[in-house]
Structure 1
């Protein structure tokens, strides 16, 4: 009897392994900012497909994800900034045609330690003073940012240079992509940044809104004043209505045209990502769903297999519908 049970168990295990192996797979990598959306979408999609399609989600950062994607190693990649000209060139070299699909809006969030009792807002100019390349080795104390701030050490945490969040922040704040001081604690893992700021009273950092929303009890979000206007706090509402500037930005997926055309399960997942019925998943992940016009325009781009990008690098304060209707280049 025991022998029969063992044989049955082995057979069942073997059949399960075969079923998992036989399942069609969608391979996604890329941005840690987009990861919470990918994770939520993958879980819901796999549940609907009852195990017939698997979705694997990696986190290599926007830059690392593009490297894999443009080498043809993944079906899709998440990005917290548009694809760069250098990455377009890499895709071309490997004959990887791509389709650019916005999925959500994000409020890039500046945070300090909850015990920081001197910062109630910052201006974009003050952020630039902290982060510009010229600040390295020179701007080391809080009172160098504003005279009323205490003479305390300024400790900075931020994404690594492969991060799309880093690229967007430097463009919006410093005025040039990939331009910042290098003497800060960098990590591609946003949870490491959360831990760093939450453990240091003198710290300041930045990352996507979802990671702040998950850790509100450990962090304090800093309202940002832009072009002389009143400070605005980052939130789903202020990202959605466009009042939180210049740190509101679109998040993207890039889908391989070849995967879409040769793997029906990849196309099915891409359609799932752009379904207006799934806006709750975007919100649950801590981001702002796109408006109806954006979803409709993105669905058209996907259906028509409109290859290429609307960008020639990072842009600040974009109208997403307008970019979707631009002539693409590749």
Structure 2
């Protein structure tokens, strides 16, 4: 599929087109946001750079919330997001006159992981995870035996994404019942590699992050099944995320594109390229691709948004 774009990019490289809004195309695309969406976006960007070397694509990682802050200040063209934009962020966008379109790119499951030397945890229920992570757990649920009496009387060491992360927001909403609500005494990082390192070197640790990061580090971690709404312990996988049996810890992943950026031909080419390559690349990385019809619908949604002259956010 990558090959078919070569001729188009060679032709477009011969001239600079005007944006739909009348400005020139800078041929620089700034992207930031979710560490969970980053692997897909970076993989797409790498393929795109090979086909369009005259366009510079930069992909950063500030977490979904940190990325939205940059996006709404007009510092980036695209924001990677592992959750939908919050009402407070929508309000900021309206105040600053930032219009955008939300595009779905793949599905992901959150992995709950322990150290490989942990031989006592066979599964977690949602209630047990809530018991561990809810705000009232701080100072109360400090040892593994506080979760289940027959588990070791050893300190429980928690690792999770930072509070600016969409993964943190999603986990707390799905498990605790309120987005952004959790105990505060855990090791937090926007860098999932830091979380992997923490759990992989501590027998009494427990952490969570996107499934793709587990796939990359499966030899260092142990995946723990979570009991779903049917009462069955299920591990996240391409199959269980796509068929919905791994719940409630499955979610869609997004990119948000600003109206101003969407007027530029380089951004239009990149986004269309992204939606064409996402099915293959997301699966290679460890995420779950959407049906072909869903990607076609997202391309049409973006086409209409980038062609429109009226300023209307598309959610």
Counterparts of residues 84-233 of structure 1 (less than 5 Å): 84-233=86-235
8 Å CA contact 1:107, 1:234 repeated in 2: yes
Structure 1 segments (4+ residues) deviating >4 Å: none
Residue 24 of structure 1 deviates from its aligned partner by: 1.4
1:108 counterpart SS class: strand
Residue 125 of structure 1 deviates from its aligned partner by: 0.5
8 Å CA contact 2:106, 2:278 repeated in 1: no
TM-score, normalization by structure 2: 0.88
Larger of the two Rg values belongs to structure: 1
Whole-angstrom distance in 2 between the partners of 1:231 and 1:273:
34
Whole-angstrom distance in 2 between the partners of 1:291 and 1:239:
13
8 Å CA contact 2:229, 2:247 repeated in 1: no
Whole-angstrom distance in 2 between the partners of 1:119 and 1:86:
39
Give the count of matched residue pairs: 286
Whole-angstrom distance in 2 between the partners of 1:228 and 1:254:
34
Match of 1:48 in 2: 51
1:102 counterpart SS class: strand
Report the RMSD for the aligned CA atoms in angstroms.
1.4
1:290 counterpart SS class: coil
Match of 2:6 in 1: none
2:173 counterpart SS class: helix
Whole-angstrom distance in 2 between the partners of 1:156 and 1:272:
39
Residue 278 of structure 1 deviates from its aligned partner by: 4.2
Residue 169 of structure 1 deviates from its aligned partner by: 0.3
Whole-angstrom distance in 1 between the partners of 2:84 and 2:229:
25
Residue 308 of structure 1 deviates from its aligned partner by: 3.1
TM-score, normalization by structure 1: 0.84
Match of 1:242 in 2: 244
When residues 78 and 128 of structure 1 are mapped into structure 2, their CA distance, relative to the original with a 3 A threshold, is same
8 Å CA contact 1:80, 1:251 repeated in 2: yes
8 Å CA contact 1:29, 1:78 repeated in 2: yes
8 Å CA contact 2:28, 2:57 repeated in 1: yes
8 Å CA contact 1:23, 1:52 repeated in 2: no
8 Å CA contact 1:71, 1:90 repeated in 2: no
Match of 2:280 in 1: 280
Match of 2:34 in 1: 31
Q: Which runs of 5+ in 2 are unaligned?
A: 1-24
